[in-house]
């Protein structure tokens, strides 16, 4: 991998373009979210300089620590929360983030609806699905998805789509295909799927948002 953030970004963008060409999709229809969790502001600045504006973090406090300042310096940044959200952090998350990828349970639907009211601000949410039905994994069980979606709709949560992190270490394509089907079945546009190791496959299977950390920033410490 290149030492230079501009080169790494260009390489990822070229891979996106290649996958889109094969899939007969437009690169503009795939949003690249640069996952900057664990990386300090100094590592993020080169990507901002290279023109990247969409970023993702997995912890509210860590994101506040870096992005309140970075955002002052660079207008037009779009910030996505891709990690588990505790209900007691809903207000802070709503204040900071432009999109939430980890809506996964009824209690969080309630907490977010309340936070939106309080802040007079709506943040689009992806419902995270535990697509591999794994015990330790975050996300709503597939069998509970219809209920959770109707609760979110009843609470006027703006639904962006579905999000998943497939089981580690095995071929992700079947899980991406399953998630695309679930999104179709429920009339949801957005598909947040694909990370550094598998975003090309995810694009082939309809990803609208890919979440790429390592390929842009290098290994996390
Ligand atoms: C860390 C993380 C990513 C990025 O993973 P890489 O393999 O470093 O690209 C994507 N999605 C979520 C939910 C993450 O926590």
What's the confidence (pLDDT) of residue 11?
97
Are the CB atoms for 162 and 127 separated by under 8 Å?
A: yes
58 lines ligand 1 (CB under 6 A): yes
66 lines ligand 1 (CB under 6 A): no
Check: pTM over 0.75? Answer yes or no.
yes
> Domains of the chain (ranges plus CATH)?
5-217 (3.20.20.10)
What's the confidence (pLDDT) of residue 196?
98
Closest CA to 157 of 91, 196, 100: 100
Straight-line distance from the first to the last Cα atom of the chain, in angstroms, rounded to the nearest whole number? 16
37 lines ligand 1 (CB under 6 A): yes
What's the confidence (pLDDT) of residue 221?
76
Sites in the chain below the pLDDT cut of 70: none
Atom of ligand 1 nearest to the CA of 220: 8
Nearest CA to ligand 1 atom 14: 82
113 lines ligand 1 (CB under 6 A): no
- Range list of H helices, 60-172: 60-73, 90-96, 106-119, 145-154
209 lines ligand 1 (CB under 6 A): no
What's the confidence (pLDDT) of residue 52?
97
Sign of the alpha-carbon dihedral angle for 73, 78, 79, 82:
negative
User: In sequence order, what are the residues at sequence separation of 6 or more whose Cβ sits closer than 8 angstroms to the Cβ of residue 181?
Assistant: none
How far away, in angstroms, is 120 Cα from ligand 1 center? 30
């Amino acid at each position: 991998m290149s030492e230079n953030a501009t080169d790494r970004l260009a390489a990822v963008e070229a891979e996106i373009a290649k996958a889109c060409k094969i899939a007969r999709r437009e690169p503009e229809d795939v949003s690249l979210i640069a996952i900057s969790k664990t990386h300090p502001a100094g590592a993020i600045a080169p990507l901002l300089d290279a023109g990247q504006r969409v970023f993702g973090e997995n912890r509210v406090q860590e994101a506040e620590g870096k992005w309140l300042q970075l955002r002052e310096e660079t207008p037009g940044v779009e910030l996505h929360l891709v990690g588990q959200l505790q209900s007691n952090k809903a207000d802070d998350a709503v204040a900071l983030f432009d999109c939430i990828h980890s809506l996964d349970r009824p209690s969080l639907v309630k907490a977010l609806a309340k936070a939106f009211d309080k802040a007079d601000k709506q943040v689009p949410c992806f419902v995270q699905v535990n697509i591999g039905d794994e015990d330790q994994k975050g996300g709503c069980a597939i069998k509970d998805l219809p209920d959770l979606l109707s609760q979110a709709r009843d609470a006027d949560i703006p639904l962006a789509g579905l999000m998943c992190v497939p089981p580690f270490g095995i071929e992700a394509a079947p899980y991406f295909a399953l998630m695309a089907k679930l999104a179709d079945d429920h009339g949801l546009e957005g598909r947040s799927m694909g990370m550094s190791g598998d975003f090309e496959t995810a694009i082939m299977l309809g990803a609208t948002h890919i979440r790429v950390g390592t390929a842009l920033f290098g290994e996390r410490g």
